[in-house]
């Protein structure tokens, strides 16, 4: 039998393939992979945080993020090329497309990662309307921080996570929601003089509840001034003033008569008026036509609560100052002493009243923070957890 021409070659090739594989080697699979902080297909994404693209078991070789219309979003590569983050805030009501590539330590490329997501459209907008103390202010050791919002906050926890109070001196303190539109922060004890305090509200993109979203961040800074405080003793009829722990002046004073007692507790000086109109019907006192009604303009008045209590000059009660209590709840001083105290006191100085039988309460003051024991105060935080 004759062997066809070429068969020996075929037989030789078959024998060679039997001894060594003729199959092409399988390509190596990259150990690297890519994830994004926003899942593919996500909708109504709040743009409060940057978009983060991360390479695992490798490094990123390219990241492209585009918004509607193909506008590229700038970003920054960090962590040795393993992490990329947007460097400008994402916008509301936009569709974003992500394309990212990575390779492993052997430079084997991973499959490209792509995703698309859409940011939220606010139902309404919310911002920080104002803060107290105002930026650049110097205040006394008892002044809490107050943050006022332009609309009520429904999701207090989500908003509070974006708030921070940053003292230059380590200071224990807590947030406490006074209402849906106001949150305060106070130190456990009085501030240390000379402390600089930075207040940040990173509200942009935060859902404050019901689709009401923050549209701007807010930041301010203030400073704590000297340690100044006053103690008013309604039984001794004196107002004693201290600076840096030392008594510097003891002033004769007259406090509220028995039917209108000056309330005991820590008040905070928060307004100063060279003169102001005072009417008894504005704080629940005698109404017009009733005995004890008054409507007069008095000089050098320092407001210490929102229930009608001031430290102010009253020439008509000089005869009683240091001897008896005849006012409707205010602290009355002579013209000379009242002017001295007015010039001396800082906004935020504590004025503690002692010896009265009626307490100052949270319903009475614009700054009631010090009427709340600290263990109870911290429970007013939306992020409070029992210890």
Active site residues: 312, 330
Contact criterion met (CB below 8 Å) for 254 and 321 = yes
Q: Find the Cα–Cα–Cα–Cα dihedral 323, 327, 333, 339, rounded to 10°.
A: 180
Count of C-beta atoms within a 10 Å radius of residue 45: 20
Q: Are 342 and 368 in contact (CB under 8 A)?
A: no
CA distance 284 to 153: 30
What's the CA gap between 346 and 353, in Å, rounded? Answer: 17
**Of residues 198, 165, 201, 204, the one with CA closest to residue 86:** 204
Q: Rounded to an integer, what distance in angstroms lies between the CA atom of residue 148 and that of residue 126?
A: 11
What gap in Å lies between CA 253 and CA 209, rounded to an integer?
50
Whose structure tokens read 């062997």? 3
Omega cis (within 30) before 133: yes
Exposure letters 80-97 (e unless 16+ CB within 10 A, then b): eebbbbbeeebebebebe
* Polymer length in residues for the chain: 387
Q: Residue with structure tokens 């109504």?
A: 44
In whole angstroms, give the CA distance from residue 163 to residue 49. 14
Please spell the DSSP secondary structure of 265-323, one letter per residue. Answer: EEEE--EEEEEEEEEGGGTTSPPTTSTT--EEEEEEEEE--SSS-EEEE-GGGTTTTTT
287 burial (CB, 10 Å; 0-12 / 13-18 / 19+) is: exposed
Residue located via tokens 């001196």: 169
**Cα–Cα distance measured from residue 294 to residue 311, given in angstroms and rounded to the nearest whole number:** 17
């Amino acid at each position: 039998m004759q062997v066809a021409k070429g068969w020996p070659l075929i037989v030789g090739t078959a024998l060679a393939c039997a001894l060594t594989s003729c199959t092409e080697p399988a390509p190596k699979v990259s150990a690297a992979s890519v994830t994004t902080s926003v899942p593919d297909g996500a909708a109504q994404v709040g743009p409060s945080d940057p978009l983060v693209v991360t390479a695992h078991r490798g490094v990123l070789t390219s990241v492209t993020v585009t918004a509607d219309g193909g506008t590229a979003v700038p970003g920054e590569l960090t962590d040795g090329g393993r992490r990329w983050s947007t460097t400008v805030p994402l916008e509301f009501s936009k569709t974003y497309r992500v394309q990212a590539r990575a390779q492993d330590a052997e430079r084997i490329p991973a499959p490209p990662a792509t995703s698309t997501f859409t940011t939220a459209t606010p139902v309404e907008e919310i911002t920080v309307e104002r803060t107290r103390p105002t930026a650049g202010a110097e205040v006394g050791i008892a002044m809490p921080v107050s943050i006022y919002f332009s609309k009520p906050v429904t999701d207090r926890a989500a908003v509070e996570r974006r708030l921070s109070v940053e003292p230059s001196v380590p200071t224990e303190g807590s947030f406490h929601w006074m209402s849906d539109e106001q949150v305060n922060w106070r130190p456990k004890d009085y501030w240390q003089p000379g402390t600089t305090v930075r207040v940040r509200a990173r509200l942009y993109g935060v859902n404050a509840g019901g689709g009401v979203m923050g549209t701007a961040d807010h930041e301010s800074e203030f400073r704590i001034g000297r340690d100044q405080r006053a103690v008013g003793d309604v039984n001794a009829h004196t107002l004693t003033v201290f600076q840096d722990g030392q008594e510097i002046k003891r002033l004769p004073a007259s406090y509220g008569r028995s039917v209108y007692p000056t309330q005991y507790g820590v008040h905070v000086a928060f307004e100063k008026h060279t003169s102001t109109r005072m009417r008894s019907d504005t704080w629940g006192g005698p109404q017009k036509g009733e005995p004890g009604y008054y409507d007069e303009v008095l000089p050098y008045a320092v407001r210490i609560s929102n229930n009608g209590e001031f430290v102010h000059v009253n020439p008509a009660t000089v005869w009683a100052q240091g001897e008896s209590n005849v006012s409707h709840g205010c602290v009355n001083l002579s013209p000379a002493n009242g002017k001295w105290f007015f010039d001396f006191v800082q906004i935020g100085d504590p004025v503690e009243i002692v010896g009265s039988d009626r307490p100052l309460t949270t319903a009475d003051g614009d700054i009631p923070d010090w009427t709340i024991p600290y263990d109870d105060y911290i429970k007013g935080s939306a992020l409070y957890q029992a210890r």
